Structure 1
Amino acid sequence: MSSRDEAAAAAIVSVAATWDGALVGVALAVFAASAWAKYFSTSASLRRIAAAPSPRISDLRSLLHPNDSDSHEDRDGPLVVVRGAVSALKAQIVSQSSGERGVIVQRTQTFLYNEWRGIFGWSFDLDSFIEKTRKEPRSCSVRSVPFVLVDGGYWPHSGFVHVSLDCSSHPLPLTTVYHHLHPVQATPYTFLQAIFGNGYAVGLLDEEKILPVGEEITAVGICRTQHGIVEIKSCPELPCFLSNMTKGEIEADLEVKTRILFWSGFVLGAVSISILSYAVVRNWQRWKSWRQVQQLHEDAQVQTSSDNGSDDVPDGQLCIICLMRRRRSAFVPCGHLVCCSSCAMSVERNSSPKCPLCRQNIRSSIRIYDS
């Protein structure tokens, strides 16, 4: 491990040990709360999808409200799960790279950067952050045409449902049809970037994905009528809209995710509660110890002020350290009564406390009162 990595590890350990791990406990509690929130959201989605009917596309109209009319065309219907083949309403989109036809074509271009730290083994943190952000796609273009899901055969000779992608942010079941890496030519500036460990582009990844015509997909969404046509749109509360998986596979996938989220939230929550409880107890004990020391210090100040306010002290009774106050404290175990209370406390706070008279190690001091 390099010296830089050791310093970073030491800094992480010091931050983690702050307040007896209270920061780590709070961070784990945040992660646990996030896991529980995702668990409840995913389990609710699983229950809704499991309870949703999965009729044939030709039977969707029978599930809609019988009183739907032109004045209620935008009225949302039930949540349904249907599976059918993709079919374009009119024209299809032809992929420029592969020549395949589809209803959705997505093309992305992403710069790939090196992970070398440079000759000196370090890099500027700001530059590293900037280069990480540059790993996002440089350009992304999506083209789509209206399409439907058909229930066997070809549209319009069979039952169909129109798929609405409006206001949908769910991932699409696209198929990669083109994947090519273009190398990036090095420049003199690239040489300087390599020396100082700054990330530099080594290639441009060009990808193209499509949703081909005729592919069997599953739609999980709200069914409604729009201008007399049965339509299915996405539900924002659900984790998916269009998928290559069947309804049973979607339910199985969500069940696995709910188990993972449940146990993640349980374990993280238990660990965070343990760490926070330990931190609270430890800091409470430290606070009590600090209060006891403060109380002793206040008592010593009161005793010192009472000593200062007394009559003149004979020379034989003066503290051998300050030569101003009466000897009041005896050291343990030697038993020498040679210091006032304030000086005795100062001696005890030393790293290696010793009696100022016999130089023997001492454990504490006791207050001596006159009869």
Structure 2
Amino acid sequence: MSVHDQAAAAVLSQLALAADGAVLGLGLAYVAVRSILKFTSNSSALRKIEQAPSIRVSDLRSVLTLPSDNDDSANVQSESGKLVIVRGCVEAKSALDTNWKSLRPAPSGVLVSQESGDKGVILQRTQTCIYNEWRGFFGWTSDLRSLFVRSWKEQESSTVRMVPFILVETGRWPQSDYVIVNMEGSRHPLPLTTVYHRLQPIHASPYTFLQALFGHEYPVGLLDEEKLLPTGKEITAVGICSLKDGSPVIKSCKDLPFFLSDLTKDQILVDLDFKTKVLFWSGVVLGSLAVGILGYAVVRNWNRWKEWRQQRRDQQQSSARSNQANDQGASDEEHGDVPDGELCVICLMRRRRSAFVPCGHLVCCQSCALSVERDLSPKCPVCRQTIRNSVRIYDS
């Protein structure tokens, strides 16, 4: 770690421990709340998947209520659908147009990988540009940028193509039963298989040298990757199944973390149960740490505030007592028996204590001298000379 990285790490640690760890406690509390929210959603998804029936493709029509012309409730139920778990093989929807009684033909209307030649119904092509940084003469700012705003989003460009596909029952041919997979609105991860993966180096240019010299990111390699959902692959669909135009259609459920997966129902339940336990205990541990750190910070800052308030109160009381004693002593001195020749020429009540500068006349008490100084054009009341300020005279 360089000197700049160490300095940035020290600044971040001081910021996290600011206010006796209050910032760190708030950060842990935020993570704990997010963990509890994810735990709640995963628990709900786990219960739904446990209660959902795992059925074959050929049994879907018996599970779903068939719509009829005179049965409105059946129409509503068929439109709303039912949460089911179906496992089957991937086939292109265009295979329905072939003759089921003939030998299995090669399905038409499928996607073909440009590199490997494999056929599938979903094709994802990704190009990732790999960058590197070298701290050049002017590249010291890259240390901080790597901590705060380093991002790889500009590196990756991905394109996804798909054709309509269905799930058919595994091990049966020719097929008469199927379920149409509706991918609209689905943002769930797909069980794709990597069919092509290649890393190509990028040759340096004069512009690349300038980028490296000034400490900027420069490309060093290009990664090409193709992923495919091949036909004939056995997958599990977890979603809402309903009848549309007499054909079963399954679509994703936004409340569930799975839609199409390589895992079986039992494996999905085990995976969700493990994630739920991890989220629960992480929320409990992080929440306890956050409560402890925030409680410690609150108590420490409360005690500091009380100490500061008590010190300020003591200072005010001591200052008031000293001022009162000084005022009382000055009052006793000034309002005592003062000869006529030592009385202030303005108030004729207090002893003369302030001499004017530059004339030097000692003819006023301190209060009257301050009043004379505040005038727009202060002048000595004896010689009428302009004065700059006054000086308090003390008897030895």
- The alignment's TM-score, normalised by the length of structure 1, stands at 0.78
Task: Provide, for residues 10-58 of structure 1, a one-character-per-residue CA deviation record: whole Å limited to 9, x for no partner.
Answer: 2122212211000000000000000110111111111111110001111
Q: Which amino acid aligns with 2:151?
A: K
Query: Would you say the 8 A contact 2:135–2:142 is kept in 1?
Result: no
Deviation of 1:183 after TM superposition, in Å, equals 1.8
- Which residue of structure 2 lines up, in the alignment, with residue 19 of structure 1? 19
Task: Provide, for residues 236-282 of structure 1, a one-character-per-residue CA deviation record: whole Å limited to 9, x for no partner.
Answer: 11001000111111111111111111111111001111100000000
Distance 1:310 1:130 in 2: 66
- Which residue of structure 2 lines up, in the alignment, with residue 46 of structure 1? 46
Query: Would you say the 8 A contact 1:174–1:210 is kept in 2?
Result: yes
- Which residue of structure 2 lines up, in the alignment, with residue 159 of structure 1? 177
Calculate percent identity across the aligned residue pairs. 52
Residues 229/151 of structure 1: CA separation in 2 closer, same or farther (3 Å cut): same
* 5+ long unaligned stretches in structure 1: 315-371
Deviation of 1:226 after TM superposition, in Å, equals 1.2
Give the secondary-structure state (helix, strand or coil) at the position aligned to 2:249. Answer: strand
Residues 204/68 of structure 1: CA separation in 2 closer, same or farther (3 Å cut): farther
Query: Would you say the 8 A contact 1:87–1:155 is kept in 2?
Result: no
| Counterpart check, 1:177 vs 2:195 | yes
Distance 1:130 1:184 in 2: 24
- Which residue of structure 1 lines up, in the alignment, with residue 246 of structure 2? 228
- Which residue of structure 1 lines up, in the alignment, with residue 82 of structure 2? 78
Query: Would you say the 8 A contact 1:180–1:205 is kept in 2?
Result: yes
Distance 1:123 1:53 in 2: 57
- Stretch of structure 1 that moved more, 301-310 or 118-127: 118-127
- Which residue of structure 1 lines up, in the alignment, with residue 348 of structure 2? none
Query: Would you say the 8 A contact 1:111–1:134 is kept in 2?
Result: no
Distance 2:33 2:145 in 1: 33
- Stretch of structure 1 that moved more, 8-17 or 206-215: 8-17
| Counterpart check, 1:143 vs 2:161 | yes
Query: Would you say the 8 A contact 2:52–2:84 is kept in 1?
Result: yes
- Which residue of structure 2 lines up, in the alignment, with residue 267 of structure 1? 285
Distance 1:35 1:15 in 2: 24
Query: Would you say the 8 A contact 2:131–2:217 is kept in 1?
Result: yes
Task: Provide, for residues 140-175 of structure 1, a one-character-per-residue CA deviation record: whole Å limited to 9, x for no partner.
Answer: 221111111111356762321110001111111010
Distance 1:30 1:271 in 2: 12
Distance 2:193 2:209 in 1: 38
Deviation of 1:5 after TM superposition, in Å, equals 2.6
Give the secondary-structure state (helix, strand or coil) at the position aligned to 2:43. Answer: helix
Task: Provide, for residues 114-139 of structure 1, a one-character-per-residue CA deviation record: whole Å limited to 9, x for no partner.
Answer: 254447773446975776244541x3
- Stretch of structure 1 that moved more, 108-117 or 38-47: 108-117
Q: Which amino acid aligns with 2:44?
A: A
- Which residue of structure 2 lines up, in the alignment, with residue 203 of structure 1? 221
- Stretch of structure 1 that moved more, 196-205 or 149-158: 149-158
Give the secondary-structure state (helix, strand or coil) at the position aligned to 1:166. Answer: coil
- Which residue of structure 1 lines up, in the alignment, with residue 61 of structure 2? 61
Distance 1:131 1:185 in 2: 23
Query: Would you say the 8 A contact 1:174–1:209 is kept in 2?
Result: yes
Q: Which structure 2 residues correspond to residues 1-371 of structure 1 after superposition, within 5 A?
A: 1-67=1-67, 72=75, 75-90=79-94, 91-118=109-136, 122-124=140-142, 132-137=151-156, 139-153=157-171, 157-312=175-330
Residues 11/68 of structure 1: CA separation in 2 closer, same or farther (3 Å cut): farther
Residues 204/39 of structure 1: CA separation in 2 closer, same or farther (3 Å cut): same
Distance 1:290 1:58 in 2: 78
Q: Which amino acid aligns with 1:77?
A: G
Query: Would you say the 8 A contact 2:116–2:195 is kept in 1?
Result: yes
Distance 1:162 1:33 in 2: 39
Deviation of 1:61 after TM superposition, in Å, equals 1.4
Distance 2:291 2:197 in 1: 48
Query: Would you say the 8 A contact 1:131–1:199 is kept in 2?
Result: no
Query: Would you say the 8 A contact 1:173–1:244 is kept in 2?
Result: yes
Residues 134/161 of structure 1: CA separation in 2 closer, same or farther (3 Å cut): closer
Residues 125/13 of structure 1: CA separation in 2 closer, same or farther (3 Å cut): closer
Distance 2:289 2:209 in 1: 48
Distance 1:277 1:224 in 2: 53
Deviation of 1:65 after TM superposition, in Å, equals 2.8
Give the secondary-structure state (helix, strand or coil) at the position aligned to 1:173. Answer: coil
Query: Would you say the 8 A contact 2:241–2:249 is kept in 1?
Result: yes
Give the secondary-structure state (helix, strand or coil) at the position aligned to 2:328. Answer: coil
Question: Greater CA radius of gyration, 1 or 2?
Answer: 2
Q: Which amino acid aligns with 2:54?
A: S
Query: Would you say the 8 A contact 1:65–1:77 is kept in 2?
Result: no
Query: Would you say the 8 A contact 1:119–1:194 is kept in 2?
Result: no
- Stretch of structure 1 that moved more, 64-73 or 146-155: 64-73
Q: Which amino acid aligns with 2:255?
A: E
